[in-house]
A = this chain, B = another copy of it.
Amino acid sequence: MSDSTLLTATEISGLIERRDVSALEVTDAALRRIALLEPLIHAWAWLDPDRARDQARRVDAGLAAGLDGPHLLRGVPVGVKDIFNTADMPTEMGSRIWAGFRPGNDARIVFNLRYDGAIIPGKTRTSEFAVHEPTDVRNPHQLTHAPGTSSAGSAAAVASGMVPLALGSQTAGSCIRPASYCGVFGFKPTFGTVPRTGVLKTADTLDTVAWFARSIDDVERLFEVVRVRGRNYPLVDANVVRRPLTEPIAIAVVRGPHWSDATPAAQRVLTDAADHLRASGRFAVDEIEIPEAAEIYDDHELIYCKALSYYFRGEQRNDRSKISGVLTGMLERGEVTTPEAYHRAVARQAELTRRLNEEFRYAAYLTLSASGEAPRGLQSPDLPDTCKIWTYLGMPALSIPAAAGPNGLPIGLQVVAPKYADYRLLDVGRAIVDALGVRAAIATPQEAGQKVSGHLA
């Protein structure tokens, strides 16, 4: 076993279930790579190597005892964004105000991951309260660039090969954007299909658990471990009995209201991909407009700011010096929004969500994940993109690492499906990955003194 840090979670799991490698070996390899790269990347808010090894030893003991059948992520290291409760590590939410806070329990999905046998080496850095404030996390592809907010540490940890999977979240574009910037897969499932018990609350109708991975199979494995189940979720469960996609797969390109903000290189990634998919003969590619999209941005902003101002009023009044300008601005906008305007906005969100999901006529929409490569410098703001639209509408979204831009940094394509069609979305994603011949990039910064750079399909 040379280096499991270059394998996908699915590959690691296969080796572990066959006893070809131990959970401890996998964990040690991850910890070595973290030790090597963390001084450059700054992906982690908290690391606990000893505890991770203990967890791995327990997993190995269970494997040796042969007590139960295969798990999906047994022995697989998974990074956890520092907005999810963990019983054995702090949960600081990227805020100095909450420094050292330990809620004492695991978020439900952390419980689910541990129960399945996943190893949690630590907590990844997040923008303050998972909003937009830049972090000091570096983009593994170029350390002079940011990985994108807010799930910065999780995106960078996966992109640098520290862990094959990491939890993030998305209230605006906090998963899809950094996935694009870092050249890995990002997945935001249908709103409401992943539990938020023990998760930071910022906006009830927008907050969505999301994650980063090196392959779509890995994305799906994590979904299987954490998603809700039961008779109340037939729409998700029905998709488990999958109908194969019939070709040509009908997709629609959506440029979105901020198309002109996208860089020419990014625009070309989307138009070239559309041409390529059309030419492959496996896809029927239309181009559509969503006229309602423009108004969604304003409503998204209104809802987000008002919800933040409800939940962070205490921080705003008592710890003004410890909150960022970005958040302060949003809290102030929220404060002057009337409750009535907020109620009208969430009512419009519910109505538009119902209608635009009903009117979804394609297997998927195809759009950009971000408006270009990661901007230079750690403090640069992100350009407007389409992420907020799909978050607002509760639709599942997948970012596929599609190309490299003129600066050598990744650019992602976003695939979107109607609510509860998560499994079909992943299948469409696989077909696109296959047709475009793209894959996630694992970056080892040259500054690490090595020239190793693994690429994984």
The chain A residues found within 8 Å of chain B, CB to CB, are: 85, 87, 100-105, 108, 111-112, 115-116, 192, 195-199, 201, 204-205, 225, 228-232, 303, 307, 310, 312-315, 317-318, 339, 342-343, 346, 349-350
Contact = CB atoms under 8 A, between A and B. Distances in A.
B102 A343 contact: yes
B314 A112 contact: no
A104 B349 contact: yes
Contact of A87 (B87, B197, B198, B350): B350
Given A197-B199, A229-B230, 6 more contacts: A104-B342, A108-B196, A112-B232, A116-B232, A228-B228, A229-B229
A252 B320 CA distance: 54
A87 B315 CA distance: 26
Q: Which of A204, A315, A349 gathers the greatest number of chain B CB atoms within 10 Å?
A: A204
A195 B192 contact: no
Contact of A204 (B105, B225, B228): B105
Contacts of A229: 228-230
Nearest to A68: B234
Contacts of A100: 339
Contacts of A195: 108, 195, 197, 228
Q: Which 3 A-B pairs have the closest CB atoms?
A: A314-B314, A104-B346, A103-B204
Q: Which of A100, A104, A201 gathers the greatest number of chain B CB atoms within 10 Å?
A: A104
A204 to B, nearest CB: 4
A205 B313 contact: no
A313 B318 contact: yes
Nearest to A340: B100
Contacts of A115: 232
A225 to B, nearest CB: 7
Q: Which of A103, A115, A225, A349 gathers the greatest number of chain B CB atoms within 10 Å?
A: A103
Contact of A318 (B197, B201, B314): B314
A115 B231 CA distance: 9
Contacts of A205: 103-105
Given A103-B204, A225-B232, A317-B318, A192 B342 contact: no
B339 A102 contact: yes
Nearest to A103: B204
A310 B101 contact: yes
